[in-house]
Amino acid sequence: MRDWWRDLNDLVLPAECGGCGRPRTVLCARCRTALSGAAPRRVRPVPEPPGLPSVHAAARYADEVRAALLAHKERGVLSLAGPLGAALAKAVRAGLASAPGSRAGPQDAPGGPLFLVPVPSARRAVRARGHDPARRIAYAAAGELRRAGVPARVLPALRQRRDVADQSGLNSRQRLANLDGALTVAPGCGRLLADGRVVLVDDLMTTGASLAEAARAVRTPRAEPGPARPEAEPGPVSGARADSGAGSSISGAAFVYLGESWERRGEQWNGPARRRMGRRSGRPTGAVGPGRADGIIDVMCAAVVAASPDAFGMHRN
């Protein structure tokens, strides 16, 4: 009983800062500055996987930032989703501002609604953790963007096609091979993606393999099947709501989220796709948004909360 009360109390009054351990604060001022005090930067892993879109990160994956991400992901400190989502929102805005076709601000960019598409985690990891970290952060980021006037929505469009091995301990080449072709777009989501602007989001980028495979899956031309029953698992979390009303977008298996909602993701995959894509980041094959006659959905950019410090090299920005 005492343990239950302590867990409930920690949700209201966190036991310690997720970054440095300072008592009774979600994230202290120093750790908030480390997370989102600097302007987001474009990051590029070395080697850069084929098909990786332009990626912006809010912070380096080190010290307090690393501790905060691990606390949210592995220890279930859900109160950290807010500050992590705010950092991700800044990275999204930076990516949109530098994307081809953007004008003064991300809300002015052409191409319809803005879809944040999370890179899915492994189902077994979601079951083990009891929540889906990247998707939860994406909901928080979408809320931050909407408050800033950017019409962002979360579209969990990616699904696992096959099992993949545990990524820990694999180098960049092994991760690409492990995740090659592992993702696909869920039935009914292709039409939604084609009608908007797509930004891939994740909590962390190390080798870039996950984001490259996610981009390949989104860009691959496909014939859309008819409407299908939505796939979802009940698991309500704080602030749950989906799009509703005249402006809502629910088609086939796709639920488009305006805010934090049910926890459900596929498996985390990545992979090389030079032979499938035939193009690299920064070289769009056509206009983004409605009316893509070739059936290819373009990815404007990608954004992450943090990236490997090596990816922040000055000569790569």
For the stretch 187-210, pLDDT in tens is 989 888 988 899 999 999 999 999
Judged against a pLDDT cut of 90, whether residue 238 lies above it is answered with no
Which residues have CB under 8 Å from 162's CB, separation 6+?
181, 182
Least confident of 21-30, 57-66, 75-84, 306-315: 306-315
Whether residue 21 is contained in a domain is answered as no
Whether residue 49 is contained in a domain is answered as yes
For residue 95, count CB atoms less than 10 angstroms from its CB and return exposed for 0-12, middle for 13-18, buried for 19 or more. buried
Whether residue 9 is contained in a domain is answered as no
- How is residue 163 written in tokens? 């099992």
pLDDT of residue 129: 87
8 Å CB contact between 122 and 268: yes
Quick check: bond before 47 cis, omega within 30?
yes
Whether residue 30 is contained in a domain is answered as no
pLDDT of residue 296: 64
Whether residue 198 is contained in a domain is answered as yes
Whether residue 22 is contained in a domain is answered as no
d(CA 270, CA 119): 9
- In this prediction the pTM is 0.74
Phi/psi of residue 149, nearest 5 degrees: 90, 10
> What is the domain range of residue 51?
39-316
8 Å CB contact between 14 and 77: yes
**Greatest CA span in the chain, whole angstroms?**
61
Whether residue 45 is contained in a domain is answered as yes
Q: Which of 265, 227, 243 has the alpha carbon at shortest distance from 131?
A: 265
d(CA 102, CA 73): 33
8 Å CB contact between 70 and 62: no
8 Å CB contact between 110 and 195: no
Please give the full DSSP string across 221-263, using - where no structure is assigned.
--------PPP------TT-----STT--EETTEE-BSSS---
d(CA 62, CA 150): 30
Whether residue 10 is contained in a domain is answered as no
Average pLDDT, the chain: 75
Judged against a pLDDT cut of 90, whether residue 68 lies above it is answered with yes
For residue 8, count CB atoms less than 10 angstroms from its CB and return exposed for 0-12, middle for 13-18, buried for 19 or more. exposed
Residue 15 binned pLDDT confidence (cut-offs 50, 70, 90): confident
Return the residue matching tokens 């690299």.
280
- How is residue 300 written in tokens? 């404007």
For residue 41, count CB atoms less than 10 angstroms from its CB and return exposed for 0-12, middle for 13-18, buried for 19 or more. buried
For the stretch 287-317, pLDDT in tens is 334 434 445 678 899 999 999 999 998 545 4
DSSP, res 70: H
Q: How many domains does the chain have?
A: 1
